[in-house]
Amino acid sequence: MKFVLIGAGQRGMIYAKYAYKKGHEIAAVAETDPAKREIAASEFGIPAERCYETGAALLAAPCMGEAAIIATMDRDHYSEAIPAMEKGYHLLLEKPISPDPAETLAIEKAAERTGRQITVCHVLRYSPFFREIRRVIAEGRIGRVITIQHNENIGNFHIAHSFVRGNWRRSDLSSPLIMQKSCHDMDLLVWLTGSKCSSVASFGDLTYFRKENAPEGAALRCCDCPLKDGCRFSAYRSYLPLAGNWPATVLTDDQSEEGLLEAIRTGPYGRCVYHCDNNVCDHQVTILKFENGITATFNLSGFTNLMTRTMKIMGEDGEIRASEAENVIEVTRFAGNSTEKSESEIIRPEQSTSGHSGGDSGIVEDFLNMLEGRDSVSATEIHESVESHMMACAAEEARLTGSVVSLADFRRKIEGTTKA
Ligand SMILES: NC(=O)c1ccc[n+]([C@@H]2O[C@H](COP(=O)([O-])OP(=O)(O)OC[C@H]3O[C@@H](n4cnc5c(N)ncnc54)[C@H](O)[C@@H]3O)[C@@H](O)[C@H]2O)c1
């Protein structure tokens, strides 16, 4: 199978390396950063004539394979996905499909029109951890699900890295926080409830990472800051000890101490977290009602120590408490009274070394299965994935307008404005 890679950044390289390791060819690459383009070319043996500066340039050339991996930034997906399908490529498309709901629906329509398949990178559906939770529900171990409490614990250092200093700090440049971080969570809720969402309310704000919360005397950059030794957000503390690993690898390809120091001195990740140009929320709570009557609360917060998802799923006959970081799923059947011993089981799903608890390799496997005809359709195909994006956009509208948003009304409104 031949792939083309559009966007050879963190995500694109993960998927391309996996496909390459499985014996597939990465026939061409498009990447604006010359250093990253060169790394991809040498890693996959791509000849210079098939290395392009932009996705647009690659897509102007004749079709070079069966599928395209699109892993550029959020707002580029729309301009690449439709031409790529028109050229003949099936797509492994990074989420968000697009931050704009009208563009998301247009991409879905283009897939129907061109007969191309899109697998959206909702990697969590492929992780053994979430698959196990779904299996427990499907087996009826807690009876019918009544309500869900879901938490996306972003992690305090992670919010500072990605959503204050980093690529996803501004909704106008990338996506609102709930879309960027949590279209995955919306997708998990659709998958676990087995239902579409009917209405949503949401509250949240950018409360902490603002200039008025900067300690007195803090400089605009860590390298100039007299407080850096005592600050937990100091870039020196956040990145230097992690040389060679995420998130230090995001700063520069040169992971030597000198390389990282230079990136901290001059790049975006050396900025004071209280003095960035970020505008996305640092916390957001969302309440959802599903068509089958299940209710859910979703708490998305940067004020957590761990970077993990935790869930409580409450059913007629019992509850599931799940902690992704601890790799523990506890299934408890309700007791008859407070002294009776309740029946409880601890499940520890198999663990994978691939990212997102095994989801990163799982999604490429799923895509390959679909391309090679072992499965007729992917588990995160476009029609399934659009639902989560409508939920995230509707939640953002609910937050901005202080209203309860009906998903059916929201979708009708967007369909009225759908791009061709
Ligand atoms: N599925 C997940 O769990 C997950 C996790 C993180 C990020 N993402 C998504 O993956 C996408 C990429 O994120 P990332 O962390 O890899 O970012 P990244 O910045 O590491 O990679 C994006 C790459 O695209 C390149 N690029 C930009 N414009 C281009 C163009 N016109 N043509 C070709 N290349 C271009 C950039 O130079 C960069 O190397 C984003 O949409 C992000 O939201 C998904």
Locate tokens 């995230």: which residue? 392
> Which of 15, 18, 72, 152 to probe ligand 1 with, by most ligand atoms within 8 A of CB?
72
Confidence (pLDDT) at 418: 59
Confidence (pLDDT) at 419: 62
Task: Quote the mean pLDDT of the chain.
Answer: 96
Percentage of the chain beyond pLDDT 70 is 99
Average pLDDT over residues 377-397: 94
Strands 343-347 and 405-406: unpaired
Average pLDDT over residues 43-68: 98
Pocket of ligand 1 contains residue 94 by CB under 6 Å: yes
Confidence (pLDDT) at 39: 96
Instruction: Report the C-alpha gap between 370 and 364 in whole angstroms.
Output: 10
Helices (H), 194-338: 235-239, 248-251, 257-266
Cβ atoms of 61 and 85 within 8 Å: the answer is no
Confidence (pLDDT) at 353: 75
Among protein residues, the one with the nearest Cα to ligand 1's atom 32 is 54
Pocket of ligand 1 contains residue 76 by CB under 6 Å: yes
Strands 308-315 and 318-323: antiparallel
The residue type found at 36 is: K
In angstroms, what is the span from residue 66 Cα to ligand 1's centroid?
Answer: 21
Pocket of ligand 1 contains residue 36 by CB under 6 Å: yes
Q: Closest ligand 1 atom to the C-alpha of 175?
A: 43
Strands 318-323 and 197-205: unpaired
CATH superfamily, domain 125-209+280-352+382-415, is: Dihydrodipicolinate Reductase; domain 2 (3.30.360.10)
* Tokens coding 316: 């007629």
Average pLDDT over residues 29-33: 98
Q: Closest ligand 1 atom to the C-alpha of 30?
A: 33
Is 81's pLDDT higher than 90?
yes
In angstroms, what is the span from residue 76 Cα to ligand 1's centroid?
Answer: 9
Among protein residues, the one with the nearest Cα to ligand 1's atom 31 is 54
Pocket of ligand 1 contains residue 161 by CB under 6 Å: no
Residues 174-209 have pLDDT tens digits of: 999 999 999 999 999 999 999 999 999 999 999 999
CATH architecture of 2-121+364-371: 3-Layer(aba) Sandwich (3.40)
The domains of the chain are located at 2-121+364-371, 125-209+280-352+382-415, 211-270
Confidence (pLDDT) at 180: 94
CB neighbourhood size of 216 (10 A):
5
> Which of 15, 73, 175 to probe ligand 1 with, by most ligand atoms within 8 A of CB?
73
In angstroms, what is the span from residue 5 Cα to ligand 1's centroid?
Answer: 11
Pocket of ligand 1 contains residue 249 by CB under 6 Å: no
Confidence (pLDDT) at 375: 80
Average pLDDT over residues 152-161: 98
Instruction: Report the C-alpha gap between 191 and 193 in whole angstroms.
Output: 6
Residues 249-271 have pLDDT tens digits of: 999 999 999 999 999 999 999 99
Residues 213-240 have pLDDT tens digits of: 999 999 999 999 999 999 999 999 999 9
Model confidence at 351, pLDDT cuts 50, 70, 90, reads confident
Residues 293-339 have pLDDT tens digits of: 999 999 999 999 999 999 999 999 999 999 999 999 999 999 999 99
